[in-house]
Amino acid sequence: MITRWIVRLTPVRREESAAVLLSAAYFFCVLCGYYILRPLREEMGIAGGVDGLPKLYLVNLGIMLLAAPLFGLLVDRFPRRVFVPAAYRFFIANLLVFWALLRWPPHGSDLALGRVFYVWVSVFNMWAVSLFWAVMADGWTLERSKRLFGFIAVGGSAGGLAGAGLTALLVGAVGRADLLLLSALMLELAVRCLRALPSRLPARAGDEAPETEICDAPRRAGPLGGIVAIARSPYLLGVALYLVLYTVSSTILYFAQANIVDAAAVGREARTAIFARIDAAVNGLTLLLQLGVAGRLIPRLGVGGTLLIVPALTAAGFAVLGAVPTLTVLAVFQVLRRASNYALMHPARETLFTVVSREQRFKSKSFLDTFVYRGGDALGASLYTVLGRAGLGLAGLAVATVPVAVLWGALGLALGAAQRRLALKRQETPT
């Protein structure tokens, strides 16, 4: 009965339904685990002082510089069916350590532990979500990805809504530490979904390999394979620049949010609750967009048109926030922007990887979603610090971000056109 309703109301076909539901469940568990942690991270970041956040972003970048080559080395040495579950279980072990430290904290360690946890959650988010989308891009064809990624992302939005809601509901009753155990449980469930997925993916007629091989090891390219793949491809360089422009604008907005919330709320629980409510609203709106819009809008607008939506919202939102810098305006801007990103831009951006080779797809994507993403964060943090020292207030920062959004949108259109050309070339190339 569930399959019949899905086939009737969504772009999902009957032979795809089992794999789509399992993919959505996998994403639900990953994002539920993350969004349980995210409000705790935001509060711990503010507790250490808003002025210290740019330094934590630079620490994130430094860790990614060390982690990206290690990731490439591990991908070369181990099959993905071993490496990906092991990566999630490594994060579970980390959560158990943090749980013990929060339950029985060493004397005077609260501030330092909060900073370490802030950086760790930022790194965890990058790897966990990047691994999910790498598996998705490796398992679905371009045509199916444009139809189905929006629907699969519904599972993530539902997970984010559940995770943020659980944190807002339980943080006052059970405290911060025990929420980490719930996050660890969700990651273990994600591993179970991942292991069951390959056998349920539909066949890829005429493509480079069947989906049952999505966990096979790629050809060896060394620990810096992701950097090499991006440097050799103008297309992937464009994807990298698109991601950098997104993260720069996101970081500037994030620091604006930290200052506004810090001024508007008193107490750690109150700030945590504000962040959790914003996250819940983001995921609720994302869910509505994904159920009613994404699966049909992306094929209709095309990838390039869809990649233009969030840059346009960003330009308009910063213009309004610069004029009216209040918590209400901030919350509305954040909810609209992040929901559009998760429901529309992110699935469209993931389809960009369906027209490159399997090796390029896995290694370059992981490098982009980790090191390049955090590099953009660090660049945005540095720009925020420099412009702030130059005397620009929130209004000046908002005005300075608008041209970034315009360039970002133009690049999205260009990437959509490039993807169409690569897709046609792949169709014309004999297999």
Q: What is the pLDDT of residue 30?
A: 95
Domains recognised in the chain with CATH numbers: 14-201+221-428 (1.20.1250.20)
Summarize the confidence of residues 403-431 as an average pLDDT: 84
CA distances from 346 to 14, 97, 243, 306 (A): 25, 32, 10, 9
Q: What is the pLDDT of residues 307-322, one digit of tens each?
A: 999 999 999 999 898 8
Cα 144 to chain centroid distance, Å, stands at 21
Please provide residue 233's backbone torsions phi and psi, each rounded to the nearest 5 degrees.
-125, 110
According to the per-residue pLDDT averaged within each range, which of 50-64, 78-92, 96-110, 299-313 is highest?
A: 299-313
Q: What is the pLDDT of residues 353-383, one digit of tens each?
A: 878 876 677 677 767 877 787 788 888 888 8
Yes or no: say if 221 and 74 are a contact pair by the CB < 8 Å rule: no
Summarize the confidence of residues 170-177 as an average pLDDT: 78
Q: What is the pLDDT of residue 45?
A: 77
Q: What is the pLDDT of residue 167?
A: 87
Quote the radius of gyration of the chain (alpha carbons, Å).
Answer: 21
% pLDDT > 90, the chain: 22
pTM (predicted TM-score):
0.70
Is the pLDDT score of 173 beyond 60? yes
Q: What is the pLDDT of residues 47-69, one digit of tens each?
A: 767 677 778 877 877 887 777 67
* Of 421 and 201, more confident: 421
